[in-house]
Chains A and B, each alone.
Chain A
Amino acid sequence: MTTAQIKNGHPASLPTVSEATVGDYLALLKPTLMSLAVFTGLVGMIVAPQSIHPVIGLVTLVCLSVGAGAAGALNMWYDADIDGGMKRTRNRPIPSGRVAPGEALGFGAVLSVGSVATMALLVNYVAALLLALTIIFYLFVYTMWLKRRTVHNTVLGGVCGAFPPLIGWAAATGSISVEPLILALLVFLWQPPHFWALSLYRSLDYEKVGIPMLPVVAGKAATRRQILIYALATFPASLLPYILGFAGEIYFAIAFAASLVLVFYALRVWMTGRTADRAMAEQSAMVKSTQVQADHAARKLFRFSTLYLFIIFAVLLVEQGFGLDIRDWLTSWGLG
């Protein structure tokens, strides 16, 4: 045995012992995406016409969060190479060396199978099937197939983000109908402006690792135009719950105002971007300052879009969960 094969006085062939903390394993579950899935799933469950027993509702949310987290862990296992090359993701547990890739794969696989099986046994088969589809779509369709191959990765990958409201509804009713599909449509349309806003000021990172994000492939101007188009499409979609009768006037007023603000921020991204592009074309002295303004507008849109989805779903949750009706308030104030 040579000295090169010896590490810390022990043969290198012996298995190394992980120093990964509990926090590293929690980070593998992508807590932000997990909380989005749980929140939208909860709203799907509350909006459903049939009530669900609180214990079964809790099991649904646990399975949904674990299943979504498991999909995140599998995504981190597969994308460890590109995560290591990007500023935003290089401190994740696998590229930083705190968790071995095989451990992340085993962790994700066990949690995926466990969450789907528990959902099937304790909730119902429709919800379990939808959860399984979400994990399969996120891992095989988005992560392994679309993400590194096509510029449409953000739009098509948005399908898995739209599943949780369907899962929540299916857990309560055992079926799928138009209402949860509207909620899924809303999440689906919301995702491209949200992630493209991020990719506008992180485009260098994506370019470095060869991910064909829209700003890398089609340029920032095209991305800003697409952001505006999707924000405009989100506007009417956000009003559909009221139009179809499963949300009230409070929801309508707040969704209308929030969607207006979303379109305003998207419009600002488009306009500041145009100014930056013009300054660049004219080789003006303002190139740097206009570019900073354009990036700032993209950051603001990214931050607001996160808040936007939370507002829309929180209003639905409060209005439908607590049975709030503005007509009751008007009557109680003597205005009805």
Chain B
Amino acid sequence: MGDKQDHSPKKDPTAPEGMVLTPEQVSARGKRNIAIALSLLAFVVLVFAATYVRLSGNIESRIKDGSVPPSGVEEGPTS
């Protein structure tokens, strides 16, 4: 059995492995990454602010109910 001839194009030994991005693709990817980062940051700030508001509201209503003293520290049982 003779060796099969290799018809595949010859690889350039100096070419980098894998995919090489065009400058447009690099630029578009960079801008998308920045947009994702800013969106995630905005989301974290929004969740933090909303949690703060809701927790403050709950504590205030519990103080009004009398279930929590105004100091915010519940007194333990006296011995």
Residues of A at the B interface (CB closer than 8 Å) are 1, 3, 6, 9-10, 14-15, 17-22, 25, 53, 55-56, 58-59, 62, 118, 122
Contacts and interface: CB of A to CB of B under 8 A. Distances in A.
Contacts of B22: 19
B50 A17 contact: no
Nearest to A62: B46
B53 interface: yes
A1 B18 CA distance: 16
Contact of B29 (A9, A10, A17, A62): A17
B13 to A, nearest CB: 13
Nearest to B53: A55
A55 B49 CA distance: 7
A62 B31 CA distance: 22
18 contacts: A1-B8, A9-B15, A9-B20, A14-B18, A14-B19, A15-B19, A17-B29, A18-B25, A19-B22, A19-B28, A22-B32, A25-B35, A53-B57, A56-B54, A59-B46, A122-B46, A122-B47, A122-B54
Contacts of A3: 9
Given A17-B19, A122-B47, A22 B31 contact: yes
B65 interface: no
Interface string B43-72: 100110111111001000000000000000
B21 interface: yes
Contacts of A55: 49-50, 52-53
Given A14-B18, A17-B29, A22-B32, A6 B50 contact: no
Contacts of A17: 19, 21, 25, 29
Interface of B: 8-9, 15, 18-22, 24-25, 28-29, 31-32, 35, 43, 46-47, 49-54, 57
A22 B36 CA distance: 9
A192 to B, nearest CB: 35
Contacts of A22: 31-32, 35
Contacts of A122: 46-47, 50-51, 54
A122 B21 CA distance: 41
Contacts of B50: 55-56, 59, 122
A55 to B, nearest CB: 5
A18 B43 CA distance: 25
B46 A18 contact: no
B31 A10 contact: no
A20 B28 contact: yes
Contacts of B35: 22, 25
B49 to A, nearest CB: 5
Q: Looking at B18, B51, B53, which has the most chain A CB atoms within 10 Å of its CB?
A: B53
Given A22-B31, A62-B46, 7 more contacts: A18-B25, A19-B28, A20-B28, A20-B32, A22-B32, A25-B32, A56-B54
Nearest to A17: B25
B24 A53 contact: no
Contact of B25 (A1, A19, A53): A19
Contacts of B31: 21-22
Nearest to A6: B9
B28 A18 contact: yes
A335 B21 CA distance: 73
Contacts of B25: 17-19
B58 to A, nearest CB: 12
A38 B18 CA distance: 45
Nearest to A53: B53
A15 B22 CA distance: 14
A21 B28 CA distance: 5
A9 B12 CA distance: 10
Contacts of A6: 9
Nearest to A63: B46
